[in-house]
Amino acid sequence: MPEIHIKNLKKAFGDLVAIDDLTIDVKDGEYLTILGPTGAGKTTLLRLIAGLTDQTSGSIFIDGKCVDDLPPERRKVAFLSQTYSLFPHMDVWENTTFGPIARGWNPEQVEIIGREMLEMVHLYDRKDAYPSELSGGMQQRNALARALSADAKILLLDEPLRALDARLRLDLRYELKQLSKDMGMTTIHVTHDQEEALTISDRILVLRDGKVIQSGTPKEIFNKPAIPFIHHFVGEANFISGKLLEVGDEYSIIVDDDGHKYRTQKTDIKPGSRVVTGIKTEFTLMTKDIWESEDINNFTGSIERILFLGRFSDFEIKLDNGEIVHARLPGYQANKFEDGDKVNIHYSPQRLLVFPEPEGGIKKALEMV
């Protein structure tokens, strides 16, 4: 069974710890995404699993067998690098059959698997072309066919969609998942693109500074981020730091440093603790009508800046109390607003997630590196 068990894995480059005491289990047939900012150690983790670099300590088990001493060619793990690494001096066919030939299969078997894989990725009619003659999408499919024909049951994908243009990236990510499921592969897909991770994963593992900071289904990661960093990284969020005043059955109340109170979701944190609360910008309600409401989660302000992004727009709003907040609106709604408009901002209490205040303050906790 192609399951992966990683135990207390550590990798250091000199003083720099890239992977820090990592323990992960990947189930058979699972499509796991590792999400994290640049420098989180994602690629290093893949390289460790593939055997391309030696760990400082800890162990990796594949199918229950320790593979620490096995060279890459004996781990039966297919690795697809960011740039695909199609061998430039070999054509599509030679690239695809490289694995079987390297493993010394007999020519008939090589012929069969090569044909099967290339037909699967719809490249059989281009089998005499060289990588430089293929489009980005074809190169990606060729690399995938090559990885799949190598008799591996584990597929490691290192930002496999990064080099493609936006449109193709959307089409191919479903194709990628489908192929891997059809082949019964266990897949680890590394990406820094949260949208990509949310759409294709069975499970997401958020990695930062070589540590797993959260593991869960896409919905869990999006709706119940473990720390402010994930809240901000997966989607974008407005944060308020302050003190937890009281905890109710439905809501909690926190007070910020200027004495303003907010109603937030309920929480297990002890009243009196320092906390931060954050709301994703797409849940920040912005309307043109000023609500004459006593609701403490209601504010007025004016639009400072609009960032037009096509399908949606990002707004920067200066509240009357001087604070800057962000809101994201879908395109059809965004059209109604213009620079300088007076607006009403509302934070829905259920959307204001509460976290213990991170050490060093919220700004530092959100830093990408």
Partner 1 sequence: MTLSEKISDFISRKKVIKGWYALVIIFFIMLVIVPTLFVLTYAFTGWDEIQETVMKAPPEIQYTPTHLPVYNIRFTSQDIIDVTESYSLEVEYDTDRDTTLNHTVYLLDDGEKVIEFQEEFIVNGTGSIWFNASANDTYNYFHHVGDGYQTIRADNGTGLIEEWENEVTLRSGDRLPWDMVKDALIVSFTIATIVTIIDFTAGLPMAWLMVRKDFRGKKYIDTLIDMPLAIPTAALGFSTAMFWAVTPGLNPYGSLSLTSSPFILVILLHIVFSYPYMVRSLSAILHEIDINYEVAASTLGAPPLTVARTITLPLFRAGLVTGIILCFARSLSETGGTMAALAMMSPAMGELAYPMKTGPTLIGAWKHAGGFEPHLAFTAMILVIITLILLVIIKIVIMKFKMPLRKVFPGPERLLSKGVFPKMKDALSFIFMFLVLLIPSFFIFSFVLTGEPSPVDWGGFWGAMRFSFLVAGVITVINLIFGVPLAIYIVRGTNKIMTNILDVLVNVPLIVPTSALGISLGMFWGSMDLGMTTLLVISAHLAFTFPLVVRNVAGAMEELDPTYEETARTLGAKPMFVFRKIVFPSIKFSVLAGAIMAFTRSLGETGATLAVVKEANTVPVYIVGLVKAGNYYPAALACIALIFISFITMMAMRYMTKKAGDN
Which residues contact partner 1 by CB under 8 A? 47, 50-52, 71-73, 75-81, 83, 85, 87-89, 98-100, 102-104, 146-147, 150-152, 156
Q: Where are the alpha helices (DSSP H) in the chain?
A: 42-50, 92-96, 98-102, 107-120, 136-148, 166-182, 194-200, 218-223, 228-233, 331-334, 362-366
CB 28, CB 186: distance < 8 Å: yes
CB 12, CB 18: distance < 8 Å: yes
Rounded to a whole number of angstroms, the minimum distance from the CB of residue 143 to partner 1 is 8
Rounded to a whole number of angstroms, the minimum distance from the CB of residue 173 to partner 1 is 21
- Cβ-based nearer residue to partner 1, 150 or 253: 150
- Cβ-based nearer residue to partner 1, 101 or 324: 101
Rounded to a whole number of angstroms, the minimum distance from the CB of residue 228 to partner 1 is 35
Rounded to a whole number of angstroms, the minimum distance from the CB of residue 277 to partner 1 is 44
Q: What is the DSSP letter of 67?
A: -
Question: DSSP letters along 312-352, please?
Answer: EEEEEEEETTS-EEEEEEEHHHHTT--TT-EEEEEE-GGG-
- Cβ-based nearer residue to partner 1, 73 or 125: 73
- Name the token pair of 204: 């997401």
Rounded to a whole number of angstroms, the minimum distance from the CB of residue 291 to partner 1 is 53
CA angle 156, 235, 325 (to 5 degrees): 155
CA distances from 93 to 107, 146, 157, 368 (A): 13, 9, 21, 42
- Cβ-based nearer residue to partner 1, 14 or 322: 14
- Name the token pair of 178: 């489908």
Rounded to a whole number of angstroms, the minimum distance from the CB of residue 180 to partner 1 is 16
Buried b (16+ CB within 10 A) or exposed e, 169-200: beebbeebbebbeeeebbbbbbbbebebbbeb
Q: What is the DSSP letter of 288?
A: S
Rounded to a whole number of angstroms, the minimum distance from the CB of residue 99 to partner 1 is 4
Find, among 222, 223, 218, 234, the residue nearest to 33 by Cα.
Answer: 218
Tell me how long the chain is. 369
- Cβ-based nearer residue to partner 1, 96 or 313: 96
Rounded to a whole number of angstroms, the minimum distance from the CB of residue 153 to partner 1 is 13
CA angle 364, 368, 369 (to 5 degrees): 90
Rounded to a whole number of angstroms, the minimum distance from the CB of residue 105 to partner 1 is 10
- Cβ-based nearer residue to partner 1, 68 or 341: 68
- Cβ-based nearer residue to partner 1, 84 or 347: 84
- Cβ-based nearer residue to partner 1, 79 or 283: 79
- Cβ-based nearer residue to partner 1, 87 or 174: 87
CA distances from 137 to 52, 198, 227 (A): 26, 22, 36
